[in-house]
A and B are shown apart, each in its own frame.
Chain A
């Protein structure tokens, strides 16, 4: 438990510092109201608006842990949103819409996973194919229009509340917890990390790397489908052109802010969703604090640069050296017979 806490400590500290900074400019940031059966306030807003990126980040974390990347998630959001909206307009009901949308997301994941695991195509390229053509597919489903619908039950998924908490917030928290439990209470997480560190070696050690890789991309597709459903339900319409546009980059950024290496290996889903919340806090904070939103991207760029410096393998030795120095200064000289 302590180790898990230490792992997400940098992200928690960053988030706390950001919140303090925003509160400085916008004192009401932390105030939460309870009105007409629902919580409201800037913090709740962050938790709700960050839902798509947080969901994408959950799936993306697993993909990146296998040394892959999934560029198609934003497009998958558009496809699943289009599928859901089409199903509802066709009068098949909410249940069918959700099931078909999730199935579409899983199908996209299987496609990506097969290209990566069976054909051995680099993940960037394999998912680029769906990224470029997927919006065309989504437009094909919506026939180029923005498909709107009026279905209160489906809209509830995007803008409703459960026990006062926005439904999207509940969805991403549940998805994140379920993934953590699945990965850390079983050996799955370890196996995923093994593939990311060395796929050939893990295959030799008896890990069914191909099946796991496909499963990981399926998980990413499923998360994207959930995010797509939320986005579509929120605006009560499927916008094939703009749904989830460039969210894949925000999701990758969230994973990187979460301290996960793009080179695969160890991962932390909790840190990634915290990363997503950091991004959303910046977005919302800049607006609330009254800064022009033009600064948003520059701040993100600076943030990435800082993280890159902290993660760099070339500088790792330097950091180690600095830490050792600090430790040595604090502790008394070790006795000569102890190897330093």
Chain B
């Protein structure tokens, strides 16, 4: 059997997830129930969605530090608009996605036009989005709307009592959508080409400017969507929420087997990266004696493992070539 070496990181990610789940299952048989699986999807829905956007950005060799702030901004934006105006939530969602997508596109435009590192441009974006949410409100605003209650209670009761919630479905659809965009469209090919090197991408005929704008606009859209999901999940908007989510998302993408230098990776891997991180947390909750800080340490070790694995792979393929 001849497996494409590009698939190794993805297979390793899935393998680690399966093995980890098996270990958990042997220790706590109840881990393998639809309740735990449903909660795993629901609790990590917002992270999964934002990580899909981050995957596309990282595939292009960039980075987007603004997403955590954009999620917080989204929650506050929705909560304040629903409190102060009679607009229907769906209209507010549309407005919000428009704002966050335009925000992402603007960052992409600045990165392209000024030829500055994405790191510092999106850092400014992070400050701006966080500052904007502070300016809307500095307190936690509850969301009270009949439509929101409807969204919160939308789930399919799986056999075994697990809840397959709407926001879990939204995450799976986002992953599928992200995979199609990244792997099956002309835009996606441009993203991979940019990740391989801007110069070569330009020579290939990729329109670098519009593609860069599109990449960050996509990430902004996903961050907005994630913000909507997060507001459904928490039922409120809080400007201090999701601080540092961008780094968790980057970690999930790396554990998902995407090369941080860009140009290689799979959106599907990111889903497993997110689920692996969620699994560690679930395990610690089940165990009850381990302290929460072990989550951070284990995630750090996993990060190191995957980066070294990728380094080894890159070296191995370079020798063979």
Spell out A's residues near B (CB within 8 Å). 69, 119-122, 124-126, 128-137, 139-140, 143-144, 240, 246, 249, 252-253, 256, 262-263, 292-301, 304-305, 308-309, 311-315
A148 to B189, CA, bound (A): 55
Check B293–A140 contact: CB distance below 8 A: yes
Identity of the chain B residue whose Cβ is nearest the Cβ of A316 in the assembled complex = B115
Identity of the chain B residue whose Cβ is nearest the Cβ of A143 in the assembled complex = B291
Residues of A within 8 A of B244 (CB): 246
Check A132–B300 contact: CB distance below 8 A: yes
In the complex, identify which listed stretch (B85-93, B159-167, B177-185, B304-312) lies at the interface while the others stay far away.
B304-312
Check B254–A125 contact: CB distance below 8 A: yes
User: CB of B294 within 8 A of chain A?
Assistant: yes
Given B127, B138, B291, B308, which contacts A304 in the complex, CB threshold below 8 Å? B127
Cβ contacts A to B, 28 pairs, < 8 Å: A124-B63, A124-B119, A126-B307, A128-B250, A129-B300, A129-B304, A129-B307, A130-B300, A132-B299, A133-B303, A136-B297, A136-B300, A144-B292, A249-B126, A294-B135, A297-B130, A300-B131, A301-B124, A301-B125, A301-B128, A304-B127, A305-B124, A308-B110, A308-B121, A308-B124, A309-B114, A314-B115, A315-B114
Residues of B within 8 A of A125 (CB): 254, 260, 303, 307
A179 to B26, CA, bound (A): 55
Known contacts A295-B131, A298-B131, A308-B116: A121-B296 contact under CB 8 Å: no
Known contacts A125-B254, A297-B134, A314-B115: A304-B300 contact under CB 8 Å: no
A300 to B131, CA, bound (A): 9
A292 to chain B, nearest CB (A): 8
Check A128–B303 contact: CB distance below 8 A: yes
Given B117, B254, B293, B307, which contacts A262 in the complex, CB threshold below 8 Å? B117
Kindly list 16 other residue pairs between chains A and B, CB separation below 8 angstroms, not including A144-B292, A312-B116: A69-B119, A128-B250, A132-B299, A133-B297, A133-B299, A136-B296, A139-B291, A139-B296, A140-B297, A294-B131, A295-B131, A297-B127, A298-B132, A301-B128, A304-B120, A304-B127
A306 to B125, CA, bound (A): 13
User: CB of B251 within 8 A of chain A?
Assistant: yes
Identity of the chain A residue whose Cβ is nearest the Cβ of B114 in the assembled complex = A312
Check A304–B124 contact: CB distance below 8 A: yes
Residues of A within 8 A of B131 (CB): 294-301
Residues of A within 8 A of B254 (CB): 125
Proximity string of chain B (83-113) to chain A, C-beta cutoff 8 Å, 1 when within and 0 when not: 0000000000000000000000000001001
Ranked nearest first, the 10 interchain pairs of A and B with the lowest CB-CB distance are A133-B300, A136-B296, A297-B131, A294-B134, A298-B131, A139-B293, A301-B128, A312-B114, A304-B124, A136-B297
Residues of A within 8 A of B128 (CB): 297-298, 301
B183 to chain A, nearest CB (A): 23
Residues of B within 8 A of A293 (CB): 134
User: CB of B140 within 8 A of chain A?
Assistant: no
A294 to B301, CA, bound (A): 37
User: CB of B144 within 8 A of chain A?
Assistant: no
Proximity string of chain B (233-276) to chain A, C-beta cutoff 8 Å, 1 when within and 0 when not: 00000000001100110110010000011000000000000000
Identity of the chain B residue whose Cβ is nearest the Cβ of A315 in the assembled complex = B114
Residues of A within 8 A of B261 (CB): 122
Spell out B's residues near A (CB within 8 Å). 63, 110, 113-117, 119-121, 123-128, 130-132, 134-135, 138, 243-244, 247-248, 250-251, 254, 260-261, 291-297, 299-301, 303-304, 307-308, 311
Residues of B within 8 A of A69 (CB): 119
A143 to B297, CA, bound (A): 14
Check B301–A133 contact: CB distance below 8 A: yes
Given B127, B132, B296, which contacts A135 in the complex, CB threshold below 8 Å? B296
Check A119–B300 contact: CB distance below 8 A: no
Known contacts A124-B63, A301-B131, A308-B114: A249-B307 contact under CB 8 Å: no
Residue picked from B124, B128, B250, B254, most chain A C-beta under 10 Å: B124
Residue picked from B138, B261, B300, B308, most chain A C-beta under 10 Å: B300
A90 to B120, CA, bound (A): 42
Check B135–A298 contact: CB distance below 8 A: yes
Identity of the chain B residue whose Cβ is nearest the Cβ of A293 in the assembled complex = B134
Identity of the chain A residue whose Cβ is nearest the Cβ of B304 in the assembled complex = A129
Residues of A within 8 A of B301 (CB): 133
Check B295–A136 contact: CB distance below 8 A: yes
Residues of A within 8 A of B299 (CB): 132-133
Residue picked from B127, B138, B243, B297, most chain A C-beta under 10 Å: B127
A263 to B301, CA, bound (A): 29
Residues of B within 8 A of A263 (CB): 117
A314 to B116, CA, bound (A): 9
Residues of B within 8 A of A313 (CB): 115
A128 to B246, CA, bound (A): 12
A201 to B37, CA, bound (A): 53
Check B296–A133 contact: CB distance below 8 A: yes
A329 to B89, CA, bound (A): 59
A309 to B92, CA, bound (A): 33
Identity of the chain A residue whose Cβ is nearest the Cβ of B130 in the assembled complex = A297
Residues of A within 8 A of B110 (CB): 305, 308
B266 to chain A, nearest CB (A): 18
Residue picked from B110, B134, B295, most chain A C-beta under 10 Å: B134
Identity of the chain A residue whose Cβ is nearest the Cβ of B315 in the assembled complex = A120
Check A256–B296 contact: CB distance below 8 A: no
B142 to chain A, nearest CB (A): 20
A267 to chain B, nearest CB (A): 15
A249 to chain B, nearest CB (A): 6
A120 to B318, CA, bound (A): 15
Identity of the chain A residue whose Cβ is nearest the Cβ of B121 in the assembled complex = A308
A143 to B292, CA, bound (A): 11
Check A262–B119 contact: CB distance below 8 A: yes
Identity of the chain B residue whose Cβ is nearest the Cβ of A314 in the assembled complex = B115
A127 to B291, CA, bound (A): 24
A305 to B127, CA, bound (A): 11
